[in-house]
Protein backbone atom coordinates (compact mmCIF):
# COMPACT_ATOMS: atom_id res chain seq x y z
CA UNK A 1 0.00 0.00 0.00
CA UNK A 2 1.32 3.42 -0.93
CA UNK A 3 1.95 5.79 2.00
CA UNK A 4 -0.43 8.41 0.53
CA UNK A 5 -3.22 5.83 0.32
CA UNK A 6 -2.59 4.92 3.93
CA UNK A 7 -2.64 8.58 5.02
CA UNK A 8 -5.85 9.19 3.04
CA UNK A 9 -7.49 6.22 4.76
CA UNK A 10 -6.44 7.41 8.21
CA UNK A 11 -7.70 10.94 7.47
CA UNK A 12 -10.99 9.53 6.20
CA UNK A 13 -11.68 7.59 9.36
CA UNK A 14 -10.68 10.54 11.54
CA UNK A 15 -13.02 12.95 9.72
CA UNK A 16 -15.95 10.57 9.15
CA UNK A 17 -17.30 10.71 12.73
CA UNK A 18 -17.38 14.52 12.53
CA UNK A 19 -20.05 14.22 9.85
CA UNK A 20 -22.42 12.88 12.48
CA UNK A 21 -21.78 15.40 15.24
CA UNK A 22 -25.09 17.03 16.14
CA UNK A 23 -25.82 20.66 15.45
CA UNK A 24 -25.55 22.30 18.89
CA UNK A 25 -28.84 22.74 20.72
CA UNK A 26 -30.46 26.10 20.12
CA UNK A 27 -28.75 26.80 16.79
CA UNK A 28 -30.66 27.30 13.58
CA UNK A 29 -31.37 24.12 11.64
CA UNK A 30 -29.53 23.62 8.36
CA UNK A 31 -32.72 22.74 6.45
CA UNK A 32 -35.71 25.00 5.86
CA UNK A 33 -38.48 23.02 7.50
CA UNK A 34 -41.16 25.00 5.66
CA UNK A 35 -40.26 23.05 2.51
CA UNK A 36 -40.31 19.53 3.91
CA UNK A 37 -41.46 16.46 2.04
CA UNK A 38 -44.68 14.84 3.36
CA UNK A 39 -43.87 12.09 5.89
CA UNK A 40 -45.23 9.22 3.78
CA UNK A 41 -43.25 10.33 0.73
CA UNK A 42 -40.12 10.82 2.82
CA UNK A 43 -40.39 7.32 4.32
CA UNK A 44 -40.91 5.82 0.86
CA UNK A 45 -37.84 7.66 -0.46
CA UNK A 46 -35.82 6.57 2.57
CA UNK A 47 -36.79 2.96 1.96
CA UNK A 48 -35.80 3.19 -1.72
CA UNK A 49 -32.44 4.74 -0.85
CA UNK A 50 -31.91 2.17 1.91
CA UNK A 51 -32.60 -0.69 -0.53
CA UNK A 52 -30.29 0.89 -3.11
CA UNK A 53 -27.61 1.04 -0.40
CA UNK A 54 -28.09 -2.64 0.43
CA UNK A 55 -27.83 -3.49 -3.26
CA UNK A 56 -24.62 -1.41 -3.55
CA UNK A 57 -23.18 -3.18 -0.52
CA UNK A 58 -23.99 -6.54 -2.10
CA UNK A 59 -22.34 -5.43 -5.37
CA UNK A 60 -19.22 -4.31 -3.53
CA UNK A 61 -19.00 -7.67 -1.74
CA UNK A 62 -19.67 -9.56 -4.98
CA UNK A 63 -16.88 -7.79 -6.83
CA UNK A 64 -14.43 -8.20 -3.96
CA UNK A 65 -15.17 -11.93 -4.12
CA UNK A 66 -14.52 -11.93 -7.88
CA UNK A 67 -11.17 -10.24 -7.24
CA UNK A 68 -10.32 -12.68 -4.44
CA UNK A 69 -11.06 -15.60 -6.76
CA UNK A 70 -8.16 -14.48 -8.96
CA UNK A 71 -5.55 -15.16 -6.30
CA UNK A 72 -3.05 -17.83 -7.20
CA UNK A 73 -2.20 -20.18 -4.36
CA UNK A 74 1.62 -20.35 -4.30
CA UNK A 75 1.54 -23.80 -2.68
CA UNK A 76 -0.49 -25.43 -5.47
CA UNK A 77 0.82 -23.41 -8.42
CA UNK A 78 4.24 -24.66 -9.40
CA UNK A 79 3.92 -23.56 -13.05
CA UNK A 80 6.14 -20.60 -13.93
CA UNK A 81 4.22 -19.75 -17.10
CA UNK A 82 1.01 -18.95 -15.19
CA UNK A 83 0.45 -15.18 -15.07
CA UNK A 84 1.02 -13.46 -11.74
CA UNK A 85 -1.99 -11.19 -12.36
CA UNK A 86 -5.16 -12.11 -14.18
CA UNK A 87 -7.89 -9.95 -15.67
CA UNK A 88 -10.98 -9.82 -13.48
CA UNK A 89 -14.18 -10.80 -15.28
CA UNK A 90 -17.87 -11.05 -14.50
CA UNK A 91 -20.37 -8.61 -13.08
CA UNK A 92 -19.53 -4.98 -13.62
CA UNK A 93 -15.98 -5.93 -14.59
CA UNK A 94 -17.36 -6.22 -18.13
CA UNK A 95 -17.60 -2.42 -18.18
CA UNK A 96 -15.15 -0.99 -15.60
CA UNK A 97 -11.84 -1.83 -14.00
CA UNK A 98 -12.91 -0.98 -10.43
CA UNK A 99 -16.58 -1.88 -9.90
CA UNK A 100 -16.04 -2.32 -6.16
CA UNK A 101 -15.10 1.38 -5.97
CA UNK A 102 -18.21 2.34 -7.94
CA UNK A 103 -20.35 0.31 -5.54
CA UNK A 104 -18.71 2.04 -2.56
CA UNK A 105 -19.42 5.45 -4.06
CA UNK A 106 -23.08 4.48 -4.57
CA UNK A 107 -23.14 3.34 -0.94
CA UNK A 108 -21.81 6.69 0.27
CA UNK A 109 -24.33 8.56 -1.90
CA UNK A 110 -27.12 6.55 -0.26
CA UNK A 111 -25.62 7.10 3.16
CA UNK A 112 -25.40 10.85 2.53
CA UNK A 113 -29.01 11.02 1.37
CA UNK A 114 -30.26 9.05 4.38
CA UNK A 115 -28.34 11.25 6.81
CA UNK A 116 -29.92 14.35 5.26
CA UNK A 117 -33.44 13.12 6.09
CA UNK A 118 -32.95 13.03 9.84
CA UNK A 119 -29.75 14.93 10.48
CA UNK A 120 -29.13 17.54 7.79
CA UNK A 121 -25.50 18.57 7.68
CA UNK A 122 -23.22 19.72 4.87
CA UNK A 123 -20.35 17.79 6.49
CA UNK A 124 -21.57 14.48 5.08
CA UNK A 125 -21.39 16.04 1.63
CA UNK A 126 -17.73 16.76 2.29
CA UNK A 127 -17.18 13.15 3.29
CA UNK A 128 -18.89 12.04 0.07
CA UNK A 129 -16.73 14.43 -1.96
CA UNK A 130 -13.59 13.00 -0.35
CA UNK A 131 -14.69 9.41 -1.05
CA UNK A 132 -15.56 10.19 -4.69
CA UNK A 133 -12.26 11.99 -5.32
CA UNK A 134 -10.15 9.40 -3.52
CA UNK A 135 -11.75 6.40 -5.23
CA UNK A 136 -11.75 8.13 -8.64
CA UNK A 137 -8.03 8.81 -8.46
CA UNK A 138 -7.35 5.28 -7.22
CA UNK A 139 -9.53 3.76 -9.96
CA UNK A 140 -7.74 5.76 -12.66
CA UNK A 141 -4.35 4.65 -11.32
CA UNK A 142 -5.49 1.01 -11.15
CA UNK A 143 -6.91 1.22 -14.68
CA UNK A 144 -3.64 2.66 -15.97
CA UNK A 145 -1.70 -0.10 -14.20
CA UNK A 146 -3.86 -2.77 -15.90
CA UNK A 147 -3.19 -1.15 -19.30
CA UNK A 148 0.54 -1.02 -18.68
CA UNK A 149 1.04 -4.46 -17.09
CA UNK A 150 -1.54 -6.89 -18.43
CA UNK A 151 -1.22 -7.78 -22.11
CA UNK A 152 -4.52 -7.55 -23.97
CA UNK A 153 -6.26 -5.41 -21.39
CA UNK A 154 -6.71 -2.52 -23.82
CA UNK A 155 -8.91 -4.69 -26.07
CA UNK A 156 -11.50 -4.96 -23.30
CA UNK A 157 -12.35 -1.26 -23.75
CA UNK A 158 -13.29 -0.83 -20.11
CA UNK A 159 -13.53 2.47 -18.31
CA UNK A 160 -11.83 3.02 -14.96
CA UNK A 161 -14.86 3.64 -12.74
CA UNK A 162 -18.09 4.75 -14.44
CA UNK A 163 -19.35 2.84 -17.50
CA UNK A 164 -19.07 4.85 -20.74
CA UNK A 165 -17.81 7.93 -18.83
CA UNK A 166 -14.66 7.62 -16.69
pLDDT of 101: 96
Q: How many angstroms separate the CA atoms of 48 and 80, rounded?
A: 50
pLDDT of residue 18: 59
Task: Note the pLDDT tens digit of each residue in 120-160.
Answer: 778 888 889 999 999 999 999 999 999 898 888 888 889 99
Is 117 a residue whose pLDDT tops 80? no
Q: Among 132, 56, 64, which residue's Cα sits nearest to residue 93?
A: 64
Inter-residue contact 64 to 90 (CB < 8 Å): no
Amino acid sequence: MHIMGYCAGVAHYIWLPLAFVSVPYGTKDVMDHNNTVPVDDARFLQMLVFLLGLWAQYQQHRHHRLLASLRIDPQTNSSHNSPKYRIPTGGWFRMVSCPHYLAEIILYVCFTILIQFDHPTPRMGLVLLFVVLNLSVTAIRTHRWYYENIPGYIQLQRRALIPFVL
